[in-house]
Homo-oligomer: A and B are copies of this chain.
Amino acid sequence: MSASPSSDASGAGRPLKVALLGCGVVGTEVARLLVRDAAELAHRVGAPLELAGIAVRRIDRERDAELPADLFTTDAKGLVSRGDIDVVIEVIGGIEPARELILTALENGASVVTANKALLAEDAATLYEAAEKVDRDLAFEAAVAGAIPIVRPLRESLAGDAVERVLGIVNGTTNFVLDAMTTTGSGFTEALDEAQRLGYAEADPTADIEGFDAASKAAIIAGLAFHTRVSIGDVHREGITEVSAADVRSASEMGCVVKLLAICERIDTPDGPAVSARVHPAMIPDTHPLASVREAYNAVFVESESAGQLMFYGPGAGGAPTASAVLGDVVSVARNRVRGVVGPGESTHAQLEVLDIGRARTRYHVAIDVDDRAGVLATVAQAFAEFGVSIKTVRQEGHGDDAQLVIVTHEAEDAALSATVAALRELDMVRDVSSAMRVEGMS
């Protein structure tokens, strides 16, 4: 473990050695800025940052000409085991070898900055414990919503408040696709094709469109907001592949837009407060601040007891924005190294129960194609009543063969709402439940 370096205000302390793991889009940008902005960063840290090595999988790939060739190595394990590295930046992603490298880096006395949402959502506890054991920092602002400061606000700015609910648009690909469907009226497949053509969706878009990426971020947010350990297995997850042009139209008719939301909330149960974390498409009113988040932008909307409603908005991905978040963390943990201190660690003292989606309180929008004959409305209304679900608004449209009932419920347990929808599908006079989607952000 390296000794605590000394410093002075002019940035002239002993240089801190920085190792970079991964040199893709984000890594290249981080390395480039570490070199280009070295003088300015030294002032901000109180000591120069010296890029000591860059671990890559393939040494023969063409690299940014500004980066010294002799920094590159394929021996990531060797780099983090050197023992003289002060800060390790991990932008490889995925579970292994990232986890092993981070743990090795910490064991060797480095502070760690990571953008790895999948690993944090899978196993943050192991990383936190390893960092605490050696009195080093584990920072991960870039893991949630790219350049948007949300980890630090939750960990520090709101540390004196009680967060009640977080609604996040935390995946740019799905927001781009849903925004395109809203703007053009196109279907999901067409909008996804367009997103891929423009580079907003990957060739294999599964992690984004099935909600895995957003679910990782939901786990991280819920853990920070509620001082409770939450992992991706605790997060209910539905992607956007089933969202249809009809859903988007139906949303529009009631003054809403469809967004993929990561929702983390505190729920008061008879047994005391608990936590729910879920990712699914939802309709939100046009007037909600999240409704105007367009294209691939991200935004996180926080409701807390004292602060009220806050929103954080910005680019949620991309090389430069993610590099901004990574370098903000690098400056913070490097400053801490200079002073021989560490920032806040894991906070899980609340240990709240994480509830199943069935116990979350939601409201549904349901569009039902029905036979237009006497007694239909009564029968449908009865189905809702049987599950204790109260109807907020009902609209009947069309006639003859085309009759449709559009119903918005009051808040109820999600289990009761989904059971109602299942029961509706079984009714003789119901031809089809053409749209069933949760509604959020409605007062």
Contact = CB atoms under 8 A, between A and B. Distances in A.
Interface of A: 9-11, 29, 33, 37, 40-41, 43-44, 141, 147-149, 152-153, 156-162, 227, 289, 292, 304-315, 318, 320-321, 323-332, 335, 339, 341-342, 344, 347, 349-350
Best-surrounded residue of A227, A292, A320 (most CB of chain B within 10 A): A320
B324 A314 contact: no
A332 B33 contact: no
A323 B306 contact: yes
23 contacts: A10-B349, A43-B227, A43-B347, A152-B156, A156-B331, A157-B328, A158-B328, A160-B324, A161-B327, A161-B328, A289-B292, A305-B320, A306-B321, A307-B315, A307-B321, A307-B324, A308-B314, A308-B315, A309-B314, A310-B313, A313-B313, A339-B341, A339-B342
User: Which 3 pairs, one residue from A and one from B, show the smallest C-beta to C-beta distance?
Assistant: A160-B327, A147-B307, A149-B157
A158 B347 CA distance: 24
Contacts of A310: 147-149, 312-314
A153 B149 contact: yes
B306 A289 contact: no
Contacts of A9: 349
A33 B158 CA distance: 13
A306 B335 contact: no
Contacts of A325: 157, 307
A158 B149 CA distance: 8
A308 B160 contact: no
A147 B323 CA distance: 27
Contact of A324 (B306, B329, B332): B306
B326 A160 contact: yes
Given A141-B157, A147-B310, A306-B323, A43 B349 contact: yes
Contact of A332 (B159, B161, B311): B159
Given A43-B349, A307-B314, 5 more contacts: A152-B153, A161-B324, A307-B325, A310-B314, A311-B311
- A contact patch SS: mixed
A148 B307 CA distance: 8
A224 to B, nearest CB: 12
Contacts of A33: 160, 306
Given A310-B147, A315-B309, A324-B307, A157 B152 contact: yes
Contacts of A311: 311-314
A330 B325 CA distance: 25
A86 to B, nearest CB: 15
Contacts of A40: 162
A246 B307 CA distance: 36
Contacts of A160: 33, 41, 44, 323-324, 326-331
A132 to B, nearest CB: 9
A11 B159 CA distance: 14
